[in-house]
Amino acid sequence: MQIFGVDIGGSGIKGAPVDLDRGDLAEPRHKVLTPQPATPESVADCVKEVVDHFGWSGPVGVTFPGVVTGHSTIRTAANVSKDWVDMDARALLGERLGGAPVTVLNDADAAGVAEMHFGVGKGREGTVILLTLGTGIGSALFIDGRLVPNTELGHLELHGHDAEKRASTKARDDEQLSWEHWAHRVQKYLAHVEMLFSPELFIIGGGVSRKAQKFLPLIEGIRAEIVPAELLNNAGIVGAAMAASQEAGVRG
């Protein structure tokens, strides 16, 4: 069974049909650059371009980098245009895609769902937290494999700052931090999240998880196990397709 997944990110909008049995892309993904400003209209055009690239018709799952309620309505937009706030993204994208059923969910929640099903979180009970360290910091909280959506732990306050402004990959790039310096900030952030939730496992996702060996060994004093995500950059696309298939009732 295949369903289409699209991941809307701060820098790129990428998508592909997903093989839901394997939890992997059925074809190499297509990516377009996120328009600046990333307004609803301009992003919807890009989503259409990505979907049309494959001549896809049928259900589409879409991730969004903000709070999404009811698989439809955008509530926050930290790193894209504020015009998204309170927008019915399901209606906008569905109309742009010629009436296709559209399911929208938070990007980190999508990545987490995919990792818990097909990646390093598979079969893990208890409290598991996936954190994506990218343009912002996204979070997905699982209790015995069940998602608590829209946790937004990237916006916890850390030493008087929004945590994602200190410990995201963007902060590392913008401030040209060494791996040691940045790892120290990530460690402080993980300690804070651990103090609040005492998870058994942290899964570190986002593009930087490919370079996990450069910073994970530098992190000390965290009780929980810390592992890099396995699905890397495709987790969002896979998780979006999984959410769409569940909504379409195609599979449980």
Among 7, 107, 115, 247, binds ligand BGC (CB under 6 A): 107
Q: How far is the CB of 208 from ligand BGC (least distance, A)?
A: 12
* Nearest residue (CB) to ligand BGC, 60 versus 78: 78
Query: Rounded to an integer, what distance in angstroms lies between the CA atom of residue 34 and that of residue 65?
Result: 12
Identify the DSSP state of 134: S
Among 25, 92, 108, 235, binds ligand BGC (CB under 6 A): 108
- The count of chain residues that interact with ligand BGC, using the rule CB under 6 A, is 16
Query: Rounded to an integer, what distance in angstroms lies between the CA atom of residue 139 and that of residue 196?
Result: 14
Q: How far is the CB of 221 from ligand BGC (least distance, A)?
A: 25
Q: How far is the CB of 103 from ligand BGC (least distance, A)?
A: 16
Among 154, 228, 236, 239, binds ligand BGC (CB under 6 A): 154
Among 78, 114, 240, 244, binds ligand BGC (CB under 6 A): 78
Under 8 Å between Cβ of 187 and 163: no
CA angle 93, 71, 21 (to 5 degrees): 90
Among 76, 103, 187, 245, binds ligand BGC (CB under 6 A): 76
Burial class (CB within 10 angstroms; exposed 0-12, middle 13-18, buried 19+) of 88: middle
Query: Rounded to an integer, what distance in angstroms lies between the CA atom of residue 212 and that of residue 109?
Result: 20
* Nearest residue (CB) to ligand BGC, 11 versus 42: 11
Query: Rounded to an integer, what distance in angstroms lies between the CA atom of residue 62 and that of residue 181?
Result: 34
Among 2, 79, 209, 233, binds ligand BGC (CB under 6 A): 79
Burial class (CB within 10 angstroms; exposed 0-12, middle 13-18, buried 19+) of 112: buried
Query: Distances in Å between the alpha carbon of 73 and those of 86, 92, 166, 188?
Result: 6, 10, 28, 33
Q: Is 136 in the site for ligand BGC (CB under 6 A)?
A: yes
Burial class (CB within 10 angstroms; exposed 0-12, middle 13-18, buried 19+) of 155: middle
Binding mask 54-73 for ligand BGC (x = CB under 6 A): -----------xxx------
| Of residues 160-219, those binding ligand BGC (CB under 6 A) | 164
Q: Is 239 in the site for ligand BGC (CB under 6 A)?
A: no
* Nearest residue (CB) to ligand BGC, 6 versus 108: 108
* Nearest residue (CB) to ligand BGC, 65 versus 121: 65
User: What's at 116, amino acid-wise?
Assistant: M
Which residues would be at the binding site for ligand BGC (CB under 6 A)? 65-67, 76, 78-79, 106-108, 132, 134, 136, 138, 152, 154, 164
